[in-house]
Chain A
Amino acid sequence: MPEGSKTIRDLIHEIYPELHHLPSMSEDMIRQYFSQRVILAARNIDVDAINNSILQILSGDSKIYSSADSAFDDAGAVNDAIPNEYLATIAVSGMPLHDTELKINCPIILLRNLNPYEGLCNGTRMVVTAMAERVIEARILTGTHAGKKAFIPRISLDTSMSAGLGFVLRRRQYPIRLGFGMSINKAQGQSLDRVGIYLNDPVFAHGQLYVALSRCTDRYNLKVLLPPNANRRTSNIVYREVFI
């Protein structure tokens, strides 16, 4: 590896330094630590990989929550022909994973509106404070409800027909994903002090690069990881026709 070339590990350390100190921090400090930082990537597959590698760095025991999956056809009848082993591998955006691995103090992001009046909306970021068999306790990171604790139950989530599976996947799982990293699209509207952007796969949609770069409130805390031979360049997709 040429000198000076950086890897995803370097990006993780830039954005999430001193993760091993978390257990000695107060709940409020942990909430503040995670409320101000995130790593963005264009594709969900990269986001999942980033989330998993950071979860392994976090100290503490992990717990794996597996979902109950079933398949239905358009008319709503159960489709037994599809093996559960296959259903478990399906990862669709907006749906939790079949195996959701969590640790105390890991950040998560809600995937459904659970209770908008209490600040539990699709996209709300939280940090896990307790993990029981049938419920997760977490604390809201940002916004007017920051600091509030809430219980997250498992709920049944259906994929839409537009997911392109050819059937409806019903998954009973906590409506969450890990929140160390998130997709650029999901980050729209957030403001963060410290932002890492993983662009091994460049952006693929109009205005995505702008959304990613503009999440950050200070350019000194904006870190971009590009492929080694990218020569400090990445593609930007803008259709000028949309500007009239």
Chain B
Amino acid sequence: MKLTKNMRLLAQSERMTPEERVRAEDFAQWLLSVGEGSDDAVPLTQLPTGTFTVRLSTYVT
């Protein structure tokens, strides 16, 4: 058996707009790669685009 859905992010996916769903799915995928340690230093710049709301030198959203 395999778990396939991030319920924290996608439990409400039926009620999301297509854009919201893509955003949540991208985030879920990125979290999985963090959990797997896909890189020794996680490049936070690899957060899906459009996530930054402030200047990035020290601060990432």
Find out whether the CB atom of A232 lies under 8 angstroms from the CB atom of B27: no
User: Which residue of chain A lies nearest to B43 when distances are taken between CB atoms in the complex?
Assistant: A233
Find out whether the CB atom of A191 lies under 8 angstroms from the CB atom of B40: no
Least Cβ distance of B55 to chain A in Å? 3
Interface residues of A in 1-35 (CB under 8 A from B): 2-6, 10-11, 14
- A209, A227, A235: the one within 8 Å of B58 (CB): A227
Find out whether the CB atom of A213 lies under 8 angstroms from the CB atom of B23: no
Find out whether the CB atom of B60 lies under 8 angstroms from the CB atom of A224: yes
Find out whether the CB atom of B44 lies under 8 angstroms from the CB atom of A234: yes
A2: B residues at CB distance < 8 A: 57
- Is residue A236 within 8 Å, beta carbon to beta carbon, of the partner chain? yes
Find out whether the CB atom of B56 lies under 8 angstroms from the CB atom of A233: no
Number of interface residues of B (CB under 8 A): 30
Segment of A58-66, A67-75, A165-173, A215-223 engaged in the interface with chain B: A215-223
CA distance A2 to B61 in the complex (A): 19
- B24, B31, B48, B56: the one within 8 Å of A232 (CB): B56
- Is residue A228 within 8 Å, beta carbon to beta carbon, of the partner chain? yes
Given A209-B42, A214-B31, do A225 and B36 touch, yes or no (CB 8 Å)? no
Interface size class of A (residues with CB under 8 A): 35 or more
- Is residue A47 within 8 Å, beta carbon to beta carbon, of the partner chain? no
- Is residue A238 within 8 Å, beta carbon to beta carbon, of the partner chain? yes
- A210, A220, A221, A236: the one within 8 Å of B40 (CB): A236
Least Cβ distance of B2 to chain A in Å? 14
CA distance A25 to B28 in the complex (A): 34
Interface residues of A in 84-134 (CB under 8 A from B): none
User: Which residue of chain B lies nearest to A227 when distances are taken between CB atoms in the complex?
Assistant: B58
Least Cβ distance of B21 to chain A in Å? 12
- Is residue A226 within 8 Å, beta carbon to beta carbon, of the partner chain? yes
User: Which residue of chain B lies nearest to A11 when distances are taken between CB atoms in the complex?
Assistant: B59
Contact surface of B with A, Cβ cutoff 8 Å: 8-9, 23-24, 27, 30-31, 34-37, 39-45, 47-48, 51, 53-61
